Structure 1
Amino acid sequence: MRFTIDCPHCKGRVIARSSRYMSITLREIVFVCRDPECGHTFVANLEAVRTLSPSAKPNEAIRLPLSPHVRERVMKQLQLLVD
Structure 2
Amino acid sequence: MAYQNPLAPVGKTNHRPRPRLVCRSPKGPSVRLHITCPNCESPAYGFRKRQLSTLVTELAYECRNPLCRASFVFQGEVTRWLTIPSNLNPQLNVPLSPIVQRRQQLDAINNLQTAVLPDIGEMITLERGSQIDIFSEQPEQ
Structure with the higher fraction of residues in helix conformation: 1
- Confirm whether residue 22 of structure 1 aligns to residue 72 of structure 2: no
* TM-score under structure 1 length normalisation: 0.87
* TM-score under structure 2 length normalisation: 0.54
CA offsets 1:9-52 (integer angstroms, 9 cap, x no match): 11111111212111101001111112221011111101110111
CA shift at 1:82, angstroms? 2.5
- Confirm whether residue 4 of structure 1 aligns to residue 34 of structure 2: yes
Consecutive unaligned residues of structure 2, counting only runs of 5 or more, are 1-30, 114-141
In structure 2, the residue matched to 1:37 is 67
Consecutive unaligned residues of structure 1, counting only runs of 5 or more, are none
Sequence identity, in percent?
29
- 2:64 partner letter: R
Q: Which has the higher contact order (CA 8 A, sep 6+)?
A: 1
Q: Secondary structure at the match of 1:37?
A: coil
Structure with the higher fraction of residues in strand conformation: 1
- Confirm whether residue 70 of structure 1 aligns to residue 109 of structure 2: no
**Matched pairs, number:** 83
CA RMSD between the two structures? 1.3
